[in-house]
Amino acid sequence: MRLSGKTALITGAARGLGRACALRFAEEGADLALFDLGGDIDEVPYPLGGADQLEHTAELCRKLGAAVVTATGDIRSQESVARAVEAATDRFGRIDVLVNNAGIVAPSGKDLHEVDEREWAVMLDVNLTGAWRMTKAVVPGMLPRRSGSIINVASTAGLVGYRRFAGYVASKHGLIGLTRAAALDYAPLKIRVNAICPGSVRDDPLVDGRMLVEIARALDVPVQEHEGTFAQGQPANELVEPDDIAAAALWLAGDDSRRVTGAVITVDGGYTVR
C-alpha cells in the first residue's frame, strides 16, 4: 500500500493511461480525484473520454477499495480546472499527487505548413497549457505542507521528432521543458516535478485505450495491422503496456522517489536509445 494516506488527482482519467494509473494507484491505497472532459472537441477528429467512461473508471477503483470523487471539465478553462481541484480538496482535504495525463494526439497527420491556426492552438492548449493550468491550481495547496509530486505524461515525441506531427511534437517537447523549469522552482519547497515519456503503448481494451490506433490513422497505417507495424519499430520488438506506464507513475508518486525531481523517464522499450 505504497500510496496509503495520499490523494492523487489524475487528468484524462476516463480511459487509457489515465485509467491505468487510477487502477494502479487504487491498488496501492490512494484516494482518487478523477478528472476528464466528458465530451468532445471540435478540432479533434476522434471521440474523447466520456462521462460514462469516467464513471466506469471510478467504479473499478472503488471496487479496489479506493475513495473516489469525479469531475468533468475542460483543462483549457481555468475555471473548470479550479472546480476539479476544489472538488478534490473538499472531499479529501489535500492533493498529494497530480498526474497531468490529459492529452490529444490529433489533429495530426499533416506537414507543418498544412496545419491551420486552430489545430495548432488546440494541440498546445490541451497538451501543454492544460498541464500548466493544473499545476498552477494544485501547487498552492502543496506549498504549506512542503510536499507533493507532480507527474507529467509526455511522450517520446518530447525527445525526438516525428514527421507530420509538428503540433504534437512541439507540445510534448514543451511539456518536458515545463517539467524541468517547475522542478527547479519547487525543489526548495520539496515539491517534485517529473515526466514520463511513453513509447508506443498498446490499446488495451481493459482501459478503453485508443491512442495508438489514432496515430495509425493519422499516418495511414492500416488499422488491422497497426500493432504489428509499430512493434517492428521497437528495439524490444513489442509494444509498451499501459500498466508499464502506471508502474512508473506509481514510483514517482510514492516516497521511494523522494529525491527524484526534474527527471524525464522513458518507458519506450529502447526506442529513443537508437
Specify the length of the chain in residues.
274
168 labelled catalytic? yes
- The type of residue at 189 is L
**Are residues 230 and 2 in contact, defined by beta-carbon separation less than 8 angstroms?**
no
One DSSP character per residue, 167-199 reads HHHHHHHHHHHHHHHHHHHHGGGTEEEEEEEE-
Given 162, 168, 186, 271, which residue is catalytic? 168
| CA torsion through residues 182, 15, 225, 119, sign | negative
Q: Which residue has the cell 465530451?
A: 39
Measured in degrees and rounded to the nearest 5, phi and psi for residue 43 equal: -80, -10
∠ CA 266-205-122, nearest 5°, is: 60
Nearest Cα to Cα of residue 25 among 94, 97, 87: 97
Helix, strand, coil percent values for the chain (each to nearest 5):
50, 15, 35
The neighbouring-strand residues paired with 8 are 32, 97
What is each CA distance from 229 to 95, 105, 110, 221, 222, in whole angstroms? Answer: 40, 18, 20, 8, 9
What is each CA distance from 160 to 107, 150, 273, in whole angstroms? Answer: 19, 23, 10
Residue 97 CB partners (closer than 8 Å, separation 6+): 3, 6, 7, 8, 9, 25, 30, 148, 149, 150, 151, 253
Residues acting as catalytic residues: 168
